[in-house]
Amino acid sequence: MDFQDAFPTDEACYVYLCLVKWPNGFICPNCQYNKCYVMKDHTRRCAQCRKSFSVTAGTIFQDLHIPLRIIFQAMWYVVCQKQGVSASGLQKILGVGSYHTTWKWLHKLRRAMVRPGRDSLSGEVEVDEIIIGGVHAGKRGRGAEGKELVLAAVEDKGGSMGRLRLKQISDASGSKIEKALLEMVVPGSKIRTDGWRGYFGLEEKGYNHEVLVHSEQSPGEDPTPLIDKVATLLKRWLLGTHQGRQEPSYLQYYLDEFTFRFNRRNSRSRGMLFLRLVQQALQVDPITV
Ligand SMILES: [Zn+2]
C-alpha cells in the first residue's frame, strides 16, 4: 500500500484517527448521539447538541503546528522501513524545514511505541547486560565513561526468541538489576543468567533463577546466546540508522523503538503495525520533548 493512496489529504488522516477512536462510528461524548458534521478545522460537531470535539485533544497529536499528514507520513516511514529512520533522514524525506521538528516528532512517536499497561515477560527468560558505546569493553559493576548499560530480557521459546524488553540502568548492581527486572519480567518466571553477582538476589524476588557459567570443559559455550544476538542487532541499528549519535539521556526511547520493531518482526502486515502505532499514540498523553 502506498502512503499517497492511503492518505491523500490531511482530512483523510483525521478520518483514520476517528475510525480508531470510534470503531463503530462517531458517538458524541456529551449526548451519545451518532451523527456529526465535519468542520473545516477537522473537528467533529455533534448534530444534536452542537458541541465540537477534536479527535486529537489529549493525545500526542494535540496542538499540532504542522499538518497531521506530515506526522502520518513520519509514522508510515517508522513502521515500514525495516531499520527505521533517523531524524536527518526523515527531514529529507518529508521536506520539513527544521531538523529539530523531525527530531522532536520521532521522540514523541517513540513514547507511543510502549503500549500503556503492556504485559511483562514470562516463562523462560534469558537476561544479560548490553554495553552501548565506547571502543573498549567496559567495567561491569559501574558504568564506564562514555558507555551506557542496558539490561536485556528475552523470552526463550525453545531456543528461539520470544518477546524482548530493554531497560537502561545506571549500573549493574543487584538493586538496579532487580528493580529493572521486576518491571520487565513476571515473578515466578525462570530467569537464566551468567554468574555475575548482581543476579544473586533474584530467588529472593520470587524468580526461579538458573545460573549458567562459562565452563572449563566447553569454553566456547555462551551462557546467554539469545541476548548476544539481540546485542548485535541493537548495536548495528544504533550505528547504522542513527550513526551512534543517540544522546545518552534519550537512549531509553531508542531502546523502546528497537523493541517495538523487534517484537513485531514476524508481523506480515505493515498496515496492522501502523494501526497499532496510531492506537497507542491516541492513548499516550500529550508530551513535551
Ligand atoms: Zn452531542
Ligand 1 centroid–CA 34 distance in Å is 8
Q: What is the DSSP letter of 186?
A: -
Q: What is the pLDDT of residue 141?
A: 47
C-alpha cell of residue 285: 498523553
> For residue 1, what pLDDT is reported?
67
Ligand 1 centre from 9 Cα, in Å?
Answer: 27
CA-to-CA dists, residue 233 to 101, 230, 259, angstroms = 28, 5, 11
Ligand 1: distance of its center to the CA of 49 in Å? 4
Q: Are 174 and 197 in contact (CB under 8 A)?
A: yes
pLDDT in tens, 205-230: 999 999 987 666 666 678 899 999 99
Give the single-character DSSP code of 150: E
Contact in structure between 35 and 108 (CB atoms under 8 Å): no
**Quick one: which of 169, 152, 133, 151 has its CA closest to 245?**
133
Distance of CA 80 to the CA centre of its chain: 15
Low-confidence residues in the chain, pLDDT < 50:
141-142
pLDDT at position 219 is 61
CA 79 to centroid of chain Cα atoms: 11
Q: Which of 97, 85, 225, 221 is nearest to 152 (CA)?
A: 225
Q: Is pTM beyond 0.85 here?
A: yes
Tens of pLDDT, residue by residue over 5-37, are 999 999 999 999 999 999 999 999 999 999 999
* DSSP H helix total and E strand total for the chain: 9, 8
d(CA 196, CA 173): 10
Q: How many residues does the chain have?
A: 289
Q: How far is the CA of 56 from the centre of ligand 1 (A)?
A: 18
**Could you tell me if 7 and 272 are in contact, meaning their C-beta atoms sit under 8 angstroms apart?**
no
Query: What order do you get walking across the sheet with 190-193 strand by strand?
Result: 160-169, 148-157, 124-132, 190-193, 208-211
Q: How remote is the CA of residue 53 from the centroid of ligand 1, in Å?
A: 9
Ligand 1 centre from 48 Cα, in Å? 5
Q: How far apart are CA 285 and CA 268, in angstroms?
A: 29
